[in-house]
Chain A
Amino acid sequence: MKKFLEGSQAVARAVKLAKPGVISAYPITPQTHIVEGLAQFVADGELKSEFVNVESEHSAASVVLGAEASGVRSFTATSSQGLILMSEVLFNIAGMRLPVMLVCANRALSAPINIWNDHQDSITLRDSGWIQFYAENHQEAVDFILQGYRIGENPKIMLPVMVCIDGYILTHGMEVVDIPSQEQVDKFLPPYNPPYKLDVDNPLSLGLLGDPAVYMETRYAIQETLNDVLKLIPQVSSEFESIFGRRTLRLVETYKTDDAEIILVAMGSVAGTIKDVIDEERSKGKKVGLLKIVTYRPFPKEEVFSILKQASQVGVIEKAVSLGSDGPLYTEISALFSGEKGSPQISGFVAGLGGRDITKKTIQTVIELVKEKKASCIFMDLNRELLWEEFRV
């Protein structure tokens, strides 16, 4: 049923439809409304779930780890400082092959303390073994959660899933979103039935010591499983389409790339703004397109390569930076074309950190800059008056 909802409330409803047995989270802006909504569902008796209040995000992640280990579907949500406080446990969750679902309301990292949106928090966790989806709008957030549970809990996958939604822009923005019925979701998402779990009648140890004789195989197994996830996503997505009537989860989404000379690359909600700019540029006869990365982990190398190779210039716009290097997405995309003949010229742009608006003007400027000399890491929309530039070596 179509409803006009805040993104956080849409997420809470999607999670409710997935019927997790355990929910644990610690309040943090801008994620708070998600678990606030879920707490209300539990308090009102609309969702039969154990809502565990904890003293920190590290504990919240530990609670959902334990719940999944004992064979119970679980959910947690966090942002920014909360996510990196969880980080130790997040690596454990992936290493123990527990399909936890986490919604990250993307927010900048301290210092300086900043509650607004960028992608630095979840990008920092890219190497943890979690599957990562980046949503452009509320509908994608809802759909990615349902499909994320289905993919992560596949007995051949058993990996955790992080659905990343832009803080404020999606969490606090209101939009029309189609919330599926319980019947539809029950048809799509079977009860969680893991191949192994903690059970007093059949004792088992999980999270064992892995000495040098066995550790590398555990990492290789995750690497290969993530490659399998790339194959599974289109299958799950088409099954989702047959029940819900729409296809939202993809490896990548293309917008007017077929004949594009310039292709911009981006993730998350900024894709909407970029599509508007592309429409305007097209009306002026400029051949510009967008490649939206939906699945960032596993990284869909083949799809990204085959779409971008036809362009003359590529501009990667990202809300994160590996300080001292370049933007992580720029680095990965550049690596795909290493040694390839006839590669496009690829430039990297860091924009919108700490919630700075990425406006149409920002995108138009990027389109102008990609035609110039290749640049790996241009910070957009800087106010140079705020910089003490006399302090340079």
Chain B
Amino acid sequence: MFSILAAKAGSSKDNKTGSWCSVKKPKFLQKNCIGCGLCKLVCPEACIEGKEKNTYCPDYDYCKGCGLCAYICPKKDIEMVPATEEK
């Protein structure tokens, strides 16, 4: 008898780890963004996308609310807000 042992490649996409975000989530204000891309680089989930200034935003399906993006932002253009707040 066996139970779950293996997963096919790419299965981590099916696992919406954004559901773990239970306290705070980042809110991207998109006002003073200079497009440095530090938030995208530092994100451990690699779930932040964006190219130009004021275009960056996370994929909340995978964001666990660690807050590293808000911490690193040189313009304080990312706020941590209650996870229950409307996106």
Contact = CB atoms under 8 A, between A and B. Distances in A.
The judgment on whether A and B are partners is yes
Which of B2, B4, B5, B9 has the most A CB atoms < 10 Å from its CB? Answer: B5
B84 interface: no
Contacts of B6: 196, 204-206, 208
Residues of B contacting A: mostly = loop
Contacts of A158: 2
Contacts of B2: 97, 158, 221, 225
Contacts of A225: 1-2
A214 B9 contact: no
A206 B9 contact: no
Contact of B3 (A196, A204, A218): A218
Interface of B: 1-9, 11
B4 A208 contact: yes
A203 B8 contact: yes
A96 B5 contact: yes
Contacts of B4: 208, 210, 214, 217-218
Contacts of A228: 1
A183 interface: no
A385 interface: no
Nearest to B12: A205
A224 B3 CA distance: 11
19 contacts: A97-B2, A97-B5, A158-B2, A196-B5, A196-B6, A203-B8, A204-B6, A204-B8, A205-B7, A205-B11, A208-B4, A208-B6, A210-B4, A217-B4, A221-B1, A221-B2, A221-B3, A224-B1, A225-B1
Contacts of B9: 203-205
Interface string A181-210: 000000000000000100000011110101
Interface in A236-259: none
A391 interface: no
Nearest to A209: B15
Interface in A80-129: 96-97
A220 interface: yes
Nearest to B5: A97
Nearest to B8: A204
Closest 9 CB pairs of A and B: A203-B9, A217-B3, A221-B3, A224-B1, A218-B3, A221-B1, A205-B7, A204-B6, A214-B4
B7 A204 contact: yes
B52 to A, nearest CB: 35
